[in-house]
Amino acid sequence: SHDGEIDETSKHDQLDEVRENPEGEELTSDHGVKISDTDNSLKAGERGPTIMEDFHFREKMTQFDHESIPERVVHARGTGAHGYFQPYEDPDLGDEYDDIEEVTKAKVLTDSDQKTPVFTRFSTVVGSRGSSDTVRDVRGFATKFYTEEGNWDLVGNNMPPFFIQDAMEFPDLVHAIKPEPDDGMPQASAAHDTFWDFASLKPEISHMIMWVLSGRALPRAYRMMQGFGVHTFRLVNDDGESVFVKFHWTPELGTHQLVWDETTKLWGKSSDFNRKGLYDVIEEGYDPEWELGIQIFDEEQAEEFDFDVLDPTKIVPETEVPVRPIGKMVLNETPDNFFAEVEQVAFHPGNVVPGIDFSNDPLLQGRLFSYQDTQLNRFGSANWDEIPINRPVAERHNNQRAGFMRQEINEGKASYKPNSIGDDDPQEVPEEEGGYEHYAEKISGKKIRNRSDSFEDHFTQARLFWNSMSEPEKQNIVDAAHFELGKVDRMEIRERMVYDLFNNVDHGFAKRVAEGIGVEPPESPGDELPDHDREDPSLSMENRT
């Protein structure tokens, strides 16, 4: 539809225009010439060499030779599905706000008559495209909302905190967590020296490490997984007023995990366990659902917390700010073509619509550059937004032109402004008419490269997480630490994890971990690292678990 009216089927209608099903059709070349034989190359003589002139051979082979595109630098392995999002009528936002329009003007979140089409991609983070589903890892939960006001991408994870505080550290984190650069191992697991070396030197990682060692890192099914926007974002209303927001997806089926022994068996039996699970239930008509919830709080409330809401290693406890359900997402259709839809979908946290805005979280700020940039690597062209799965359903007009694989045929002479010769020159839209306006936050300060003091507390929320676990869950975390750290060759890394991180999280936890990995248990909270000479810093084979 091109008149601003968008419903659940809009994206399907748009995609239908490019869908192809050549079943039963005559074979042709890419240029439409009918082909009589696609099994034998053109030869000089009965048993002679292949002839350069064979345009069909060259076309078929060239297409094949260029079939692959770079996999995503992170979140390479995933699956996706189509569906819709629909806001609830009159959601309960607590005492402070009467209705949702008070906090945001984004129609996708407020208009309960509207089913906005969505495409959601779930992923693991570390493993390559061909790795296994059931590894210990964070999971991506990225949703593209094709709204009438343009695309909004909520690019989240299944855990609410993150590893680091500043986007500047992301290349280091990913280098540490990806297979080691000399031998390319391990494929897709946290169990290696470089990751734990990095972690043991970065106390800010403590909170996220507790989540990663927990069952959260072993989701039983994508449809049984929560999602989180992680960062604090902003919502903005019609009057230009803003509140902070955290986004939460809650699965209708509840949040469930596998246990470690199941995951290791599944690696062997079905490396597609999570991907196939999602595909199969949708094909069978059990459409998974998630509720979208928001935690909303204003600047004054934010100031009162004993952590900084701009620090992505922190969550806003639900005891402080409850999660308010505002709508639901249903995934009801599997893709027809994995490459065209799942592989080519390209998310970007910078895709926002009026009423949704960013905070100054330094991790989020860096992501706003990184995703746009990485798509150039994946697609080789700034025109990745023209690929069918990425195209908005909302109309678009501008003077952006040309580039590799340009699809649109822009008419007229003027692709610049101001101009006096093209009367259909795209015009700007005032804010009142829906033109995007960045929230006019007042900023002043010195230009400095720093880490705010308010980002300093690395252990309180990690401890909160540990203390919120039941004993069996605690034992799972300890077992996971034994397994993961037991694979670390260098003893000093194991020691730093126990003394510099875990002993600051919880003394009892640190002792339990130490006991299983050949580290002398700390005697009391706050104990310093044992100072002893080690003849060989690496462990002998016998000491590895």
Q: How far is the CB of 287 from ligand HEM (least distance, A)?
A: 20
Interface pick for ligand HEM out of 157, 237, 295, 390 (rule CB under 6 A): 157
State yes or no: residue 207 binds ligand HEM (CB under 6 A).
no
Determine which helix (DSSP H) or strand (DSSP E) holds 107, and give its type and residue range: helix 107-110
**What is the distance between the alpha carbons of residues 125 and 136, in angstroms, rounded to a whole number?**
10
Is 75 one of the annotated active-site residues of the chain? yes
**What is the distance between the alpha carbons of residues 353 and 105, in angstroms, rounded to a whole number?**
9
Q: How far is the CB of 341 from ligand HEM (least distance, A)?
A: 11
- Choose the binding region for ligand HEM from 84-92, 257-265, 371-379, 462-470 (rule: CB under 6 A): 371-379
Pick 115 or 348: Cβ nearer ligand HEM: 348
Q: Is 271 helix (H, G, I), strand (E, B) or coil?
A: coil
Q: How far is the CB of 162 from ligand HEM (least distance, A)?
A: 4
State yes or no: residue 389 binds ligand HEM (CB under 6 A).
no
Q: 75, 82, 192, 207: which one is catalytic? A: 75
What one-character-per-residue DSSP string does 313-337 give?
Answer: T----TTTS--EEEEEEEEEE--S-
Q: How far is the CB of 29 from ligand HEM (least distance, A)?
A: 32
Long-range contacts of 515-521 (CB under 8 A, 24+ apart): 516/478, 516/481, 516/482, 516/486, 516/545, 517/481, 517/482, 517/485, 517/486, 517/488, 517/545, 518/491, 518/494, 518/543, 519/491, 519/494, 519/495
State yes or no: residue 378 binds ligand HEM (CB under 6 A).
yes
Give the list of residues 6+ apart from residue 106 with CB closer than 8 angstroms, or none: 147, 149, 152, 235, 353, 354, 355, 356
Pick 74 or 513: Cβ nearer ligand HEM: 74
Judged by phi (left if over 0) then psi (alpha if -120 to 50, else beta), residue 45 lies in left
Is 504 one of the annotated active-site residues of the chain? no
Evaluate whether 244 touches 297 at the Cβ level (below 8 Å).
yes
Q: 2, 40, 151, 157: which one is catalytic? A: 157
Q: Which of 75, 127, 466, 157 is nearest to 263 (CA)?
A: 127
**What is the distance between the alpha carbons of residues 439 and 436, in angstroms, rounded to a whole number?**
9
Residue nearest to ligand HEM (CB): 140
Instruction: Name the token pair of 392.
Output: 């908005």
Interactions with ligand HEM, residue window 43-102 (CB under 6 A) = 72-75, 78
Interface pick for ligand HEM out of 15, 118, 142, 236 (rule CB under 6 A): 142
- Choose the binding region for ligand HEM from 184-192, 297-305, 362-370, 495-503 (rule: CB under 6 A): 362-370
State yes or no: residue 367 binds ligand HEM (CB under 6 A).
yes
Q: How far is the CB of 358 from ligand HEM (least distance, A)?
A: 13
Interface pick for ligand HEM out of 230, 281, 493, 539 (rule CB under 6 A): 230
Give the list of residues 6+ apart from residue 335 with CB closer than 8 angstroms, or none: 80, 81, 82, 341, 342
Q: How far is the CB of 233 from ligand HEM (least distance, A)?
A: 11
State yes or no: residue 170 binds ligand HEM (CB under 6 A).
yes
State yes or no: residue 187 binds ligand HEM (CB under 6 A).
no
Size of the site for ligand HEM (CB under 6 A): 27
What letter represents residue 164's amino acid? I
- Name the β-bridge partners of 123: 78, 140
Judged by phi (left if over 0) then psi (alpha if -120 to 50, else beta), residue 365 lies in alpha
Interface pick for ligand HEM out of 255, 374, 415, 460 (rule CB under 6 A): 374
Interface pick for ligand HEM out of 41, 112, 370, 415 (rule CB under 6 A): 370
Pick 246 or 511: Cβ nearer ligand HEM: 246
**What is the distance between the alpha carbons of residues 384 and 380, in angstroms, rounded to a whole number?**
8
Q: How far is the CB of 70 from ligand HEM (least distance, A)?
A: 8
Interface pick for ligand HEM out of 57, 97, 371, 439 (rule CB under 6 A): 371
State yes or no: residue 302 binds ligand HEM (CB under 6 A).
no
**What is the distance between the alpha carbons of residues 505 and 18, in angstroms, rounded to a whole number?**
54
Q: Could you give the angle at the alpha carbon of 337 between the alpha carbons of 336 and 343, nearest 5°? A: 135
Evaluate whether 425 touches 419 at the Cβ level (below 8 Å).
yes
Q: How far is the CB of 71 from ligand HEM (least distance, A)?
A: 8
Interactions with ligand HEM, residue window 331-360 (CB under 6 A) = 345-347
State yes or no: residue 314 binds ligand HEM (CB under 6 A).
no
**Integer Rg of the chain from CA:** 26
Evaluate whether 80 touches 119 at the Cβ level (below 8 Å).
yes
Q: Which of 356, 376, 305, 319 is nearest to 155 (CA)?
A: 356
Q: How far is the CB of 515 from ligand HEM (least distance, A)?
A: 33
Interactions with ligand HEM, residue window 97-126 (CB under 6 A) = 121, 123
Q: Which residues bind ligand HEM (CB under 6 A)?
A: 72-75, 78, 121, 123, 140, 142, 155-157, 162, 167, 170, 230, 345-347, 363, 366-367, 370-371, 374-375, 378
| Residues catalogued as catalytic | 75, 157
